Chains A and B, each alone.
Chain A
């Protein structure tokens, strides 16, 4: 940072600043009085407010005339403390130093791996879900229509025979929910699994078994609020199977993908030494 002159010139004793004026306050008061007159039906307020409006407006405009609205502010105030440089106080993190990359891995799976995992998981988990629909006697479209209830409260009002039919609107909404959730969770897997320490098997165990079971448990607790119709009809055994198959498929796809190196740190300031 350097300093340069603003409006200040070397020939004037001070800095030109706007002159204090009462007119903005009076104009605000005038407008408020007019508003109060409208609220209360007290028209005397309107008369006073109107007069103040005219006077303050003219006064304000007068301050805009050349040479009227500004004054020279003398430079009598003390100068700020001069900022001095402190060389050698910045430390760059370098490879091999404690804290370099912190706990972030130097190689990660590409974003596409997470997406692929989500897509594959999303495809394979439909098989147990649809199988449950068929085996329970409700048909293929029952689980799809139930899923749409996550976004559409009106699904609550449909009878079981109606939920068993193909309904284009519910199908499209269910499809969007399924694709978005699968892709999102796949992306989370892509980012998260490489950060799990230990062998690859732990990534598969956590991503393929632990997380789906946690997710199923949370769903079991919350589904009554989020999607009451699904809560009412769902079979939690089949629900858990679907989640496990998703998790296993997504985790396997992610951990099998080739890792790519991340741009190393070291360009830019990491922090101050003290």
Chain B
């Protein structure tokens, strides 16, 4: 996928780029409204990661411009403001998702993947990893063409892992992804452990490889065994 990262904080946009490149995305950068405006006018992107608080303009105006020119670029808004109004306005004028700073890279990656899947090409609603295939439009997961009997949270967890394949996913980012950031982490680590254990068991029972690796101190990594 080709992504544009519009973010005035250089340190942050570099991290985002680095993380998303690990997944094989091609990332371009814009540091202000002006640059973003030119880049979006000249190119098309699968997804634009857009900080709406730019030094020389409001990111929301870029969305308006894009929609005016009937662009199909997908947009993920980043904002330091937790204000719902910004979120609603952003989504109303055509953004696809909204993420509040600070966020986990794994969460961003999952959101970007989810946004890119929305493009209505055949096969885009399918996420595959070796013998595992997830049909996101039907919320179903298959292993070796066998339907996996997963709970809702296990399904979300599997998709989250697959969006962050080969990268370490922390327990806390899993908690936030599954339950929102309202749950205190220490308690929930046990729940993450249980969920991961159940998911692994179900995958193994359906003759999948043991892809979920425990990483000391951090969490898990979904990768080739």
Partners in one complex: no
| B interface with A by C-beta (< 8 Å) | none
| A interface with B by C-beta (< 8 Å) | none
